[in-house]
Amino acid sequence: MLTETARGMCMQAAEKRRLEQEMLKAERIRHIIECSFGLFADKGIETISMNEIANQAEIGVASLYRYFSTKEDLAIEAAIYAWKIEEGLFNKAFSFEGYDDLNGYDQLSSMLDIFTDALATQSLFFRFVNYFDAFIKREKVSPGRLIKYEEAITGLKDIVVCAIKKGRKDGSISFGGKKDSELAKASDDEIYFTVMHSLFSLAQKLSLSGEMLNMNMEVRPEKQMNLAIRFFLEALK
């Protein structure tokens, strides 16, 4: 008969094994998601099969389906993974010392300027988002299945809207002093979605085909992005 001490040791050993198995499972899932993101961003989601993903992740197809029963589920998880990485990049725009002391306009400017850097360093992210949006639309994925994805991008919205609110309050965002203009009457959310959707769409376009035609080489993608940001900021100032 086991003593109380022996039973405790057995329970601890069992718990340790359980935790190790959970960690191993989490690492496998993360590896699958990382491999999927790379394939999706490079070739699109529609063209990639579950067999290709399994081969890239160096696991059996049956094992892949145990973790992700559909490609839609895997694509959504890859999107969440991609946004979390991108969130870290945007965090640099508002986590530096002195950010809170900036007026609302300068806070917004700091965040929007990240797009120029991201275009140069995170082109795979913008390519992926373009493919993901098209895939979700084509497959008619319900909004209910995108709740986790939506939650992943909400944090950025809150921060940008906060800067817009602050700018309106401190006067650094005054829409050229035209209080009765359509732009000045727009809500903070309307401004956020218009600006961010425009910049994301431009980033996706430039990431996919910015250098496809010779005439596109006349103005570098980063220059185009910077000009677009300046247009928005000048309109808000």
Looking at the chain, which residues constitute the CATH 1.10.10.60 domain(s)? 1-69
Tens of each residue's pLDDT in the chain, 237 residues: 556 665 666 667 666 676 767 788 888 999 999 999 999 999 999 999 999 999 999 999 999 999 999 999 999 999 999 988 888 777 777 778 888 899 999 999 998 988 888 888 888 888 998 899 999 999 898 888 989 888 888 878 888 999 999 999 999 999 877 877 888 889 999 999 999 999 989 988 888 775 555 555 677 888 898 999 999 999 998
| Cβ(14)–Cβ(103) below 8 Å | no
Please state the φ and ψ torsions of residue 173, each to the nearest 5 degrees. -115, 105
Determine the Cα–Cα distance for residues 176 and 231; give it in Å rounded to an integer.
13
pTM confidence score: 0.79
| Cβ(154)–Cβ(192) below 8 Å | no
Helices (H), 92-146: 104-112, 114-121, 123-139
Written out in words, the top-level CATH class of the domain with range 1-69 is mainly alpha
Domain 72-236: assigned CATH number: 1.10.357.10
Q: Which residues contact 216 (CB under 8 A, 6 or more apart)?
A: 209, 210
| Cβ(127)–Cβ(207) below 8 Å | yes
Looking at the chain, which residues constitute the CATH 1.10.357.10 domain(s)? 72-236
Rg (CA), the chain: 23
Burial of 50 (0-12, 13-18, 19+ CB in 10 A): middle
Nearest to 30 by CA among 100, 105, 84, 111: 84
